[in-house]
A and B are shown apart, each in its own frame.
Chain A
Amino acid sequence: MMQMTVGLEKQVWDALETVEDPELPISVTDLGLIQEVTVEGASVRVRMIPTYSACPAIEVMRQDIRRRLLEIPGIDHVDVQLSFEEPWTMKRMSPRGRERLVHHGLSMPSKLRIESVECPFCGSTNTVLENQFGPTLCRSIHYCNNCQNPIERFKSPA
């Protein structure tokens, strides 16, 4: 019985790796949203830490997670809860996830808070902030003075 639960938990984590944020090409696991997975018998409880608490993608991801996990044989109940016990920070994002977002064309902050904004296209740091607010809650708009491209940057909660 113990063996089965451990096996199921692994399957749940593997399945979560295939669920993506609808607004970014990154999985919920690489983004670091999953705080905890608990399997009890045929029930799974997933606790999720949102990047921004008001992000409209949260409900979509909850539904996607639920749908995906219910496809696993042996699971017939899925509860996805939001957790605010610890804050989401850049430290939660995996190196692979960060890589994918850079590849997608976003300027990415490192784990350090204060730093210059690097252009994802030419690598220059000769950039200026145009708008603290962007197309989603987690993005700000900058401009690269070097290659003269507008830049979107992943914005971590302050």
Chain B
Amino acid sequence: MSLAALPALQGTDTRRALAAYLLSVADDELILGHRHSEWTGFAPDIESDVALSSIAQEEMGHARLFYQRVGELAEGDPDALAFGRGAEQFRNLTLVERSNGDWGYSIVRLFLYDHADAVRLEALAGGSVTPLADLARTLRREEKYHLMYGEQWLRGLATAMTDSRDRIQNALSRGWAEAAAFFEPTEDFRSVLDSGAVASSLDQQQERWKETVLSVLDAVGLSIPSDWEGGAGGRAGRHTDDLRILLDEMTSVWRSEPGAKW
């Protein structure tokens, strides 16, 4: 059944707010999936090459499922949502659009993002919009492998040698504020909470995320910056040139013949 047909989602404001929220989820997954895919052929070992390619495939698949649900609530088919919009229409957090940098940065980002995503999925899984809760439960099982992978690498690099440790610490210092902005509200998020689609507020989710990631970071002696304001903006459509460059490349085939099927 289409989400738009659910009795709990009959208000126009509710539908619009939920569509905006799910769009931010899909955008995060698509853009980070694309970044991960850029490691294909370049990762430090062949296992990671395969791992990042698999994780990329999975994040893009998840993006597609969320774009479909956005389409049920508002306008747009998944391909047009993914490839037919300009940077300012994207609602992903800035962290995921940053170019890959070194392996340390990509690992720190994967670790911080996937833990935040796990908390987000937990909130959706505990929500009262059954089709979304069911979907979130399915995705959570798949994401467990990403969490294991990110943590294994993070722990390894943080404890291997001075150079790897410095790189991980620098990446953490650089990425932390933008990672914490994961929980920046999308437009009219209040209506999403009121609809019951998510079981906890964004502040609660952020607290839970911090607890989880800090327990790992503390264990390997990594520290987060004391002052970390200013990572937000992505959920409101404010992005960096990195996203414009990424979209330009990612959408070039689609733009060459919009609507083409194969």
Contact = CB atoms under 8 A, between A and B. Distances in A.
B137 A87 contact: yes
A137 B62 CA distance: 13
- Chain B at the A interface: SS class: helix
Given A133-B149, A157-B141, A158-B145, A54 B51 contact: no
Contacts of B62: 53-54
B249 interface: no
B58 A54 contact: yes
A53 B139 contact: yes
Nearest to A134: B50
A83 to B, nearest CB: 8
B57 A56 contact: yes
Interface residues of B, number: 26
Interface in A43-85: 52-56, 84-85
Contacts of B58: 52, 54, 137
Contact of A84 (B64, B134, B145): B134
Interface in B52-95: 53-55, 57-62, 64-65
A68 B227 CA distance: 61
Contacts of A54: 57-62, 64-65, 142
A157 B142 contact: yes
B145 A133 contact: yes
Interface residues of A, number: 18
Contact of B145 (A56, A130, A132): A132
Contact of A87 (B64, B138, B149): B138
A56 B138 CA distance: 16
A85 B60 CA distance: 21
A68 B55 CA distance: 32
26 contacts: A52-B61, A52-B142, A53-B61, A53-B138, A54-B58, A54-B59, A54-B60, A54-B64, A54-B65, A54-B142, A56-B57, A84-B134, A84-B138, A130-B47, A131-B47, A131-B51, A132-B51, A132-B145, A133-B50, A133-B53, A133-B55, A134-B54, A137-B57, A137-B58, A141-B47, A157-B142
Interface of A: 52-56, 84-85, 87, 130-135, 137, 141, 157-158
Given A54-B64, A137-B142, A158-B144, 18 more contacts: A53-B142, A54-B60, A54-B65, A84-B131, A84-B135, A85-B134, A131-B50, A133-B47, A133-B51, A133-B53, A133-B145, A133-B149, A134-B50, A134-B54, A135-B50, A137-B57, A141-B50, A158-B141
